[in-house]
Amino acid sequence: MAVVVQKYGGSSVATPEHIKAVADRVRRARESGQDLVVVASAMGKTTDRLLRQASEVSRDPSPREIDQLLATGEEQSVALLAMALHDRGVPAVSLTGPQAGFKITGRYGSGVISEIRPGRIQKLLAEEQVVIVAGFQGMNAMGDVMTLGRGGSDTTAVALAAALGAERCEVYTDVDGVYTADPRIVPEARPISFITPEEMAEMAWRGAKVMHPRAVELGALYGVEIHVRCSFNEEPGTVIAGGRKLEQLETRETLAGIVHDLDVARVALGGIRTGPGTLSRIFTPLAEHGISVDVIVESGTREGTADVAFTVSRANFTEARRLAGEVAASLGGEVEGEEGLGKVSVVGTGMLNRPGYAAKTFATLGEAGIPIRMVSTSEIQVTCVVQAERVEEAVRRLHESFELEERDV
């Protein structure tokens, strides 16, 4: 039988009733003749609750102990789901990440998968068991539990699908799939039935919360077809896969959707001396402290000095500004920062070969009186940093301007 990996997010297993509903769905899939591996996240807001408890008992809990604590959230979910399946007469075994063969490297709280040894899972499948795996976790070289960071269960599921040569990976969440924009902001947003991994990864990096970008990129690398579906209905959802039908070729629409992100802060270094290695001096300390940088803008050099600005998440703003301030001082400049920002992005493949997307984006925001603070472009996206309070308006204006509500996506 073909192996199918299913992943259920926190909202899908938030309560005992939700878990029983998932068990019913798994049972039906099993009865249709599929070998099933199921990956589950922690129930609802369990991860947030555990982090809050950690802060209540310790002023500075160690990253190792945080991972030990957070891993228990997923372990609860998979054990409860196995129990619910047993009640339905379905043979099932729950496994932690380490038991499932996940080897993890890197830092506690943000590990990366170095290897999967799926022998135990394959043996259980041969015994006609449904294998339920705790997402988000594995074991490092020291034998410690290590987590993959937020969204890590998506990565667990896609990595398992790749390791097992699965027919597909089904990701179940609380929405009907991927839309041309957030339907809570744009009621006219349309569901997207098919999207390429490149488009989906870019949308995820730019703020779409449906899939974690690491998982999408992993699927693209190993040729895993991903189906994003709602766990509360039978809608077909969105298929993430390479290639498209040949009927349209270059006449197809290139624009996939409009995405936004409200978790944005800006750091700017002004009047710094420039020379070989200047940018490395700015961004190496940030990387060493695990701070991801997104939009980067460097002004033209004038009299041997330049201005450099970049965006980070709001959680990293204070530390990023401190590190940038130390570099700026050593280069004879100064640093300033700004929170309360957001990003709006127009995403689609082939945009570089279709002139006008950037111009139309800028014109639309200009006509709405929405100031653009920073810009980033590539062959697949145009991103504008704007004031946070204007982001939702920007999304609506761009969705209307590009007529996405009328597109066959």
Q: Would you give per-residue pLDDT tens digits along the chain (409 residues)?
A: 689 999 999 999 999 999 999 999 999 999 998 999 999 999 999 999 999 999 999 999 999 999 999 999 999 999 999 999 999 999 999 999 999 999 999 999 999 999 999 999 999 999 999 999 999 999 999 999 999 987 799 999 999 999 999 999 999 998 889 999 999 999 999 999 999 898 998 898 888 888 888 899 999 999 999 999 999 888 899 999 975 543 443 444 578 899 999 999 999 999 999 888 899 999 999 999 989 998 999 887 677 889 999 999 999 999 999 999 999 999 999 999 999 999 999 998 766 666 688 899 999 999 999 999 999 888 888 999 999 999 999 999 999 999 988 765 5
Q: How far is CA 185 from CA 181, 189, 277, 394, in A?
A: 8, 9, 43, 10
Instruction: Note the CATH number of domain 3-243.
Output: 3.40.1160.10
pLDDT at 253: 56
User: How do beta strands 226-230 and 238-240 pair?
Assistant: antiparallel
Q: Write phi, then psi, for 269 (nearest 5 degrees).
A: -105, 125
Determine the Cα–Cα distance for residues 171 and 107; give it in Å rounded to an integer. 26
pLDDT at 175: 87
The neighbour count for residue 359, using CB atoms within 10 Å, is: 10
Instruction: Note the CATH number of domain 257-403.
Output: 3.30.2130.10
Q: What pTM was computed for the model?
A: 0.85
Q: Virtual CA dihedral for 329, 330, 332, 333, nearest 10 degrees?
A: -40
- Spans of all domains in the chain: 3-243, 257-403
- The closest of 264, 407, 404 to 346, measured between CA atoms, is 404
pLDDT at 379: 82
pLDDT at 212: 87
Determine the Cα–Cα distance for residues 162 and 221; give it in Å rounded to an integer. 9
Adjacent-strand bridge partners of 298: 308
Determine the Cα–Cα distance for residues 325 and 157; give it in Å rounded to an integer. 40
